[in-house]
Amino acid sequence: MNRYIDPLNRALLVAAESEAVIDHERRLTYRELDARCQKLAGGLRAIGLRRGDRVAFLSANSHRYLEAYMAIPAAGYAIVPLNTRHAAPELRYALEDAGARVLITDRDPGELARSVERVIRIPGDYDALVDAAPPMDLRRDAPTGDALAGLFYTGGTTGKSKGVMLTHANLVENAKYVLMSHTFRRDDRFGLLSPMFHASGTFSLLPTVWMGGCQVLLPSFEAHAALDLLERERVTRSFAVTTMLALLAEAQLASPRDVSRLGELGHGGSPSAIEVMRRIHRAFPGARLSHWFGATETTAVATVMQDEQDALDGPRARSCGQPVVGVEVRILRDDGQEAAAGEVGEVVVRGGNVMAGYWNKPEETARVLRDGWYYTGDLGHADEEQYVFLVDRKKDMIISGGENVYSTEVESVLYRHPAVLEAAVFGIPDPKWGEAVHAVVVPRSEVTPDELIEHCRQYIAGYKVPKRIELRRDPLPKSGPGKVLKHELRAPFWSGRREMIA
């Protein structure tokens, strides 16, 4: 029936007195979590919300965030998680675009308060509302599968943020796909390290609840704090974007913790360099690695590569895996025909977890949703057994002297050098070649640009080698979910031009 409340219903039947969430010293059983969800829903109804109203949430990870994520959609409202790294104008845009009536936040809202009817501050206002509210029966007249459950605003790595409309069916189907593709257990303790405002930060939430497992929350990501949490709470599995796992590995190699209970580490986001994955495996040798590919528009999941550590020395080392059960993935050429095995084209996805569209943006929706398929904007190819290999975002493909250069291929070579901690490759304008390959590198030890350029020449064709490498001390700019913001790095080089052809 695609009822959003069903995972919590099952957890109450099989694990009512088991821990549902650990948030510092606060520990809630499933019975306690359910009671707080019903009271939160009742409190929002008491202040005048009606079915279909949008409730924005701007906060670090916490048990209250988990409560809101469960209760708001189950009550018939739509949650609007806001990126805590966005600037005030970006947040105001999302609030006003969504038409949110209420903002729940753990920080001073400032001018944002003018964009909503009511602000509920965490912890004081929120706890007072929950304590005083009459509970709302979340099982009665539950919303249908096509009802809007949330608006998830994209991270802005590809332009102006858009509100991705995810329905109850999207979220529930996605949870089923994850459960069918991976084994979640009741005794799992899932380390929730990624920010909950992003779909990748909550893709495991419903599956874990459905199985009666426990969510262990980290308020905001910091590598050593995350390791302490994994050790202290004996976390069994976790997920983060690759950049976070790389930082986690660096911290573990420098100052090891006892993470022997950690059986699986999942990651998603941009294609990962093989050397980075080897280093992660070295830091966490007892954990199975899994690579999940998807987008906010696919409720975070489309393919999965299980036991990635076993493939690092084989031909599928760079694959993001096969389509998860329930999802179709195809590679299409520019003429719309399906690409042959090994042929690069656009990755398109179809399944019950594909979004309903972009909020208030029919033209953008029509561009990416066609005949039930979501056109991701990612370039890739697949082999004979449907293992998908991502090569780039369309906009990150560099055309230099008429040759296609995939930035991730160059980044992967840079990461082979032991002195490279972070690397980003993109195209910049060049009077001779149209675009030139440019790299920004954050080193972990002393190295010169010339040394890195010579290193690249050993592995890739001359036209792919960066014409220039810029060294930086500060970390590369990243979105809230941890993706490198290449458009920020690229923008100064294209300033004053009408288009950024990169």
The pLDDT-based confidence of 488 (bands split at 50, 70, 90) is confident
Please state, in angstroms and rounded to a whole number, the distance separating the CA atoms of residues 246 and 44.
40
The pLDDT-based confidence of 1 (bands split at 50, 70, 90) is low
> What is the average pLDDT across 472-500?
80
Closest CA to 80 of 100, 62, 109, 105: 100
Q: What is the per-residue pLDDT for 432? A: 76
Beta bridge partners of 397: 406
Residue 156 above 60 pLDDT?
no
> What is the average pLDDT across 133-153?
93
Q: What is the per-residue pLDDT for 352? A: 96
pLDDT digits (tens, 9 = 90+) for 66-82: 999 999 999 999 999 99
Please state, in angstroms and rounded to a whole number, the distance separating the CA atoms of residues 443 and 419.
5
The pLDDT-based confidence of 456 (bands split at 50, 70, 90) is very high
Helix (H) or strand (E) holding 2: none
Show the tokens assigned to 339: 């690409």
Residue 402 above 70 pLDDT?
no
> What is the average pLDDT across 138-146?
90
Please state, in angstroms and rounded to a whole number, the distance separating the CA atoms of residues 351 and 269.
20
Length of the chain: 502
Residue 160 above 70 pLDDT?
no
> What is the average pLDDT across 359-381?
95
Q: What is the per-residue pLDDT for 301? A: 94
> What is the average pLDDT across 346-354?
97
Show the tokens assigned to 420: 């490279």
Q: What is the per-residue pLDDT for 318? A: 87
Q: What is the per-residue pLDDT for 393? A: 74
Q: How many CA atoms lie within 13 A of 459 on its CB side?
A: 14
Of the candidate ranges 193-207, 376-390, 446-460, the one whose mean pLDDT is the lowest: 193-207
Residue 68: phi, psi to the nearest 5?
-65, -40
Q: What is the per-residue pLDDT for 269? A: 66
> What is the average pLDDT across 213-224?
95
The pLDDT-based confidence of 498 (bands split at 50, 70, 90) is very low
The pLDDT-based confidence of 460 (bands split at 50, 70, 90) is confident
> What is the average pLDDT across 6-16?
96
Dihedral sign for Cα 117, 121, 124, 129, please: positive
Question: Hey, is 350 helix, strand or coil?
Answer: strand
Question: Hey, is 22 helix, strand or coil?
Answer: strand
Residue 266 above 90 pLDDT?
yes
Closest CA to 396 of 295, 300, 320, 485: 485
Q: What is the per-residue pLDDT for 400? A: 80
Q: What is the per-residue pLDDT for 271? A: 60
Of the candidate ranges 188-197, 275-284, 482-491, the one whose mean pLDDT is the lowest: 482-491
> What is the average pLDDT across 244-267?
94
Residue 500 above 70 pLDDT?
no
Residue 186 above 60 pLDDT?
yes
Residue 501 above 60 pLDDT?
no
- H helix intervals, 75-167: 88-98, 124-132
Domains delineated in the chain: 401-494 (3.30.300.30)
Global pTM reads: 0.85
Question: Hey, is 445 helix, strand or coil?
Answer: coil
